[in-house]
Amino acid sequence: MLSETPIIKQRNTLSGHLGFPMAEQHRKTTLDSGWLAARSTEVHFTGIQLTTTHPPTSPTSPWMQALVPGTVLATLVKNKLVPDPFYGLQNEHIIDIADSGRDYYTFWFFTTFHCNFSSNQHCDLNFRGINYSADVYLNGHKIVLPKGMFRRHSLDVTDILHPDGTNLLAVLVHPPEHPGTIPPEGGQGGDHEIGKDVATQYVEGWDWMAPIRDRNTGIWDEVSISVTGPVKVIDPHLVSTFSDNYKRAYLHTTTELENRSSWTAECSLSIQVTIELDDSICLLEHLQTQHISIPAKSQVQYTFPELPFYKPNLWWPNGMGEQSLYNVVINIDVKGFGESDSWSHHFGFRKIESHIDDATGGRLFKVNGEQIFIRGGNWILSDGLLRLSKKRYNTDIKFHADMNFNMIRCWGGGLAERPEFYHYCDYYGLLVWQEFWITGDVDGRGVPVSNPNGPRDHDLFLFCARDTVKLLRNHPSLALWVGGNEQIPPDDINAALKNDLRLHPYFENMDESSKPVGDLSPMLRDPSQYLDGTRIYVQGSLWDGFADGMGNFTDGPYEIQNPEDFFKDYFYNYGFNPEVGSVGVPVAATIRATMPSEGWQIPVFKKLPNGYIEEVPNPIWDYHKYIPYSKPTKVHDQIQLYGSVKDLDDFCLKAQLVNYIQYRALLEGWTSRMWSKYTGVLIWKTQNPWTGLRGQFYDHLLDQTAGFYGCRCAAEPIHVQLNLATYFIEVVNTTSEELSNVAIEASVWDLEGTCPYYTLHENLSLLPKKVAPVVEMKYPKSKDPKPVYFLLLKLYNMSDRRIISRNFYWLHLSGGDYKLLEPYRKKKIPLKITSKFSIEESTYNVQMHVTNTSKRPDSRSSATARQSDGLYGTYPLETVHCGAEKEHETGWFKRIHNCFAGKSDGFKVTEINGPDVGVAFFLHFSVHTSKMDSKEGEDTRILPVHYSDNYFSLIPGETIPINISFEVPQGVTPRVVLHGWNYDGGQTIHSVA
């Protein structure tokens, strides 16, 4: 029966994005602690003996504490039995499975658990991922698990368990069957043998990754015990359809139901849909109950009558709206028993469509009928040793949202990502492109030429693919399935995937007016009865609207570029680039934390006869896949544009300047041609699953590079920018709302602190989803331009002077360089920083206002104290007055006021006084422990930290708010440190006693 009116009730599920259920079977216990592991050749008991008469009782040789979920190598690293493979060259000191043989990485994993259940209840032992196959022993009984890394195993162990005692579980895990050999020259996927198995392919090494010695052997994903009654709920499928221009929505639900009893089960099957209002209550939208009979020892598929919703809260991608999520709970009660099973999942009402755009040839995506310009990144996995965690996923995905990205591509040589990954993509609004386990290098090309027929067992591949679809299909963030990276799956696999993942007719490209309203046509199956049916399948990353659309290698480039080239007509000629990459050196502290001192040597700058620079990195940097900041014959060394480099700190700081410019220009260049030339771009790549030195916006330790903030700036939903090729000021509006009564202010500042150019353009209107060239910059075409100068662009509302977009550039004349910035470091620009902190449990929140207090005699600020409540306006406009003399001050000193005590809120003012007037350039914060006697190379950073902005600059009189949040381990006292081009050594801004 259907409830007539929604009701308010107390929440009965975990609240908050860290705790909401992710396809949870209730009554599930996760087995994620207390595991032991041992090499199989060192254990002299059988699995039956281990789980009956001779169980290990402590981590004494050969047994050790195990990491489950995790891998053999992760367990060995945890126990310090092998060196950290991500540090320096230590990976070379770990035995590779090609040299040791598979037995060396064949391991026992052992644990004990209790499980209480009564008659007519059933207990399942669940493995969500094992690589590659396993023999399971439980209380003396053996169960052989079939091979395949991406398949779930659910074992009915009811008759094996001791319901009132301790259960002994031992799992013998076997490595992939074709681990392959690493050629001396390395290469993309080693010798490609791993492609014969259905497993991750990056593990033999890539041009961005060192080999993983155990090939990720282990119980790498969740292990659990679940208890149900006679009837079990299996893999429900949730689908939304719409009518009346998205004012009406319908929830379609189909589930598998298995009756394990020997009698016909009379059942009450209910579906409940709620939405959270706040932390204490939720709104019940629907409660529907159906009565069904399920024959004994049978499995049936049941489809609920569709549930109607009027004006539902829609789920939108990041930058387009809210990520509204409903909680769907399915319960089954069995007559004479009671509640038998329960399943829940968060669900977003949204519709994703895509087609090949006639104007650009690129694939164009729509969400809820609105076009979305894709700006995102390629993703491998969060950790190369598969040390996966909800906490790490939360940071990873929030970082992507903080960069204003709206899509993540899960590359085919990596994982079918985990539900926890998708959970945070749902929460933060990141669309996901999910590939299956095919890559061109390992499945059809490369050196040596690899096998084009994919894995040996095609049926296994398809089984894993279908199981992965069932695992992930209910997540609103999942946007499309792709057969493989730079390759199409073998013909039979490709044909099967096309059939299995065919769209339901409702989701094919049709006008909304032609769609069925309410009940679907009786000729059509309910869309929730499809394996998926709601999102497209594309056969490969270079086909059907991506790159040239025909499978030719037209992604890339992957090297440093001249920033202005991203804006030029000849740069990339196809509508959607799935991979374009560049540099990514982290900060110096990360180099020191991940390499011995011989790895702290900066590259040698070798002058070539053609005048270009070739960078020659040290062997450790080379091993960690360093990409140089020069491209001889095309791009002059971008770090040496700033002058000679003194040491590691100097190199990494200048690298951050280049990182910022490079990635901001990349995204601004693509966005400048939104819809006219491009429909989207995905950067290769956003992060590294190890301590690599290329293609990343944050390093493996979770510290952001300046490229992170260049992307954050460029990918704003509404953005003002300078076209580096035409020198036109452009405004990008990716939203569905027209902008009116806005103004653009452009001011140029020189190294003497004066403003030689200022212009204001008022009363502008900007159409939705458009790029508008507004006006050509007259500087530096004006008389006597400065060789190096700063440009500040501000887009703001005229009604309340709230800034919508702010963009700061440092520029040089054509053919010039930034070497004049080197003596500018000696300038002492005064700052005033007011800060307030609060602590909630272990999370610190610091709110700051940073002001450049240098002024000229006629400087007048019109800043208002009221903060904006608008979507984009975050701080008031500072009016700029130019052309004054420098104000002189004597002395250079700093005053720090500590006004904090214990864990109460505190307020603090820090003043850094200096005699000079000018731009406070390239300011950035970091957070450290208060330990002051750290040794050289010791990493005192507290990571991760979330900054509202970083690597920013301030013109005279300007104020910017900065919010910082981070978690601190118990007993650690944090301090916030300010760094900058004009502030050598760092200034402690904030210390909490």
Q: Provide the annotated active-site residues.
A: 486, 579
Tell me how far the alpha carbon of residue 437 is from its chain's centroid: 19
The letter for the amino acid at 175 is: P
Q: Whole-angstrom Cα distance, residue 679 to residue 363?
A: 6
Q: Quick one: which of 69, 99, 16 has its CA closest to 381? A: 69
Write the CB contacts of 746 (distance below 8 Å, at least 6 apart in sequence): 729, 757, 758, 759, 760, 777, 791, 792, 793, 794
Q: Which residues of 163-180 are buried (b: 16+ CB within 10 A; e: fewer)?
A: eeeebbbbbbbbbbbbbb
CA distances from 657 to 563, 682, 811, 815, 946 (A): 12, 22, 12, 18, 20
DSSP secondary structure code for residue 415 in this structure: -
Q: Which residue matches tokens 């602590």?
A: 839
Dihedrals phi, psi of 653, to nearest 5 degrees = -65, -45
Q: Whole-angstrom Cα distance, residue 755 to residue 397?
A: 40
Q: Which residues of 269-303 are buried (b: 16+ CB within 10 A; e: fewer)?
A: bbbbbbbbeeeeebeebbbbeeeeebeeeeeeebe
Which residue intervals of 313-452 are DSSP H helices?
390-402, 419-428
Do the Cβ atoms of 121 and 227 come closer than 8 Å?
Answer: yes
Q: DSSP string covering 698-717, please?
A: B-TTSPBPHHHHHHHHHT-S
Angle between helix 706-714 and helix 390-402 axes, rounded to 10 deg? 50
CA distances from 904 to 118, 841, 930 (A): 50, 12, 19
Tokens of 458: 């095609």
Write the CB contacts of 880 (distance below 8 Å, at least 6 apart in sequence): 745, 747, 755, 758, 792, 955, 957
- H-helix or E-strand containing 135? strand 133-138
Q: 959-967 and 843-852: which strand pairing?
A: antiparallel
Q: Which residue matches tokens 């001889």?
A: 632
3-class SS shares of the chain: helix, strand, coil, % to 5: 15, 35, 50
Q: 374-379 and 407-410: which strand pairing?
A: parallel
Decide: helix, strand or coil at residue 841.
Answer: coil
The total number of residues shown for the chain amounts to 993
Q: Whole-angstrom Cα distance, residue 442 to residue 451?
A: 7
**Whole-angstrom Cα Rg for the chain:** 29
743, 746, 922, 402: CA torsion to nearest 10: 30
Write the CB contacts of 259 (distance below 8 Å, at least 6 apart in sequence): 230, 231, 265, 294, 295, 296, 297, 298, 299, 300
Q: Which residue matches tokens 């500018």?
A: 824
CB atoms within 10 A of CB 338: 9
Do the Cβ atoms of 742 and 766 come closer than 8 Å?
Answer: yes
Q: Whole-angstrom Cα distance, residue 958 to residue 59?
A: 60
